[in-house]
Amino acid sequence: MNKMLKNSALAVILLLAQYAFGQKIEHTDQFDDLLRRAGVEVFEPLDAGYRSFEPLENQYLNCHHAISSNSEDLQIRYYVLPWDERNYLSTAPNVATFLTITNLATNADEAIITALRPDSESLRRDFNADWGMTYVFTPKPAFDSSPICKMIALSKEGQGTVFVFFLFDDPANTAIDSREMAVSFKKGSGKSGD
């Protein structure tokens, strides 16, 4: 019994050490402020060794936060646009999303962009959002060298728009399926009060 207790305690200590040293996700003050202003919660992975990193600056879109995992071969980047009545793009998510996709997707002749519109019920249930779109495309190399980008754009009236970019190499990468619920708008904020 005593030996079993010692082994259990050792296992717990090793798991805690792995968690403490395996994950290195840190937010900047700017990113935390944008999340607060837009009423957005971020659900970052607690497994797979995700770490914050600073993507190279580019001329198309410099994201506010980025994390990556070597074991899942996946990058997740975030861009937050808080609602501001003086800024038309922040109040027109369809326009902001169109500009984002046209800026980031490659212009190669053979390139394909897939667009999916989630139904209103799943947007409310999964993200507490009023509007959303999902795109899959090949990004311009200046944005990232990964051949595949899945972009989820979500918006809530009175709060803002958030873009989440999943960048990966393998179309059969199943890790993305468990990472799609990366953000949500907080309940009780926004014009609708949801």
User: 98: part of which helix (H) or strand (E)?
Assistant: helix 93-104
pLDDT of residue 13: 46
Pair 104, 139: CB distance under 8 Å: yes
Q: Which of 105, 103, 131 is nearest to 118 (CA)?
A: 131
DSSP state of 192: S
DSSP sequence for 52-93: E--PPP-SS---SEEEEETTTTEEEEEEEEE--TT-HHHH-H
Is residue 92 scored above 90 in pLDDT? yes
Burial bucket for residue 79 (CB in 10 Å: 0-12, 13-18, 19+): buried
Count of beta carbons in the 10 Å neighbourhood of residue 56: 9
> What does the pLDDT look like over 6-46, one tens digit per residue?
555 544 444 444 444 455 788 899 999 999 999 999 998 88
Chain-wide mean pLDDT for the chain? 88
The three-class DSSP label of residue 108 is coil
* Separation between Cα atoms, residue 131 and residue 118, nearest integer Å: 8
User: Residue 109 is encoded by which pair of tokens?
Assistant: 């002749």
pLDDT of residue 47: 87
Pair 69, 45: CB distance under 8 Å: yes
* Separation between Cα atoms, residue 86 and residue 39, nearest integer Å: 18
The three-class DSSP label of residue 24 is strand
pLDDT of residue 2: 61
pTM: 0.84
pLDDT of residue 96: 97
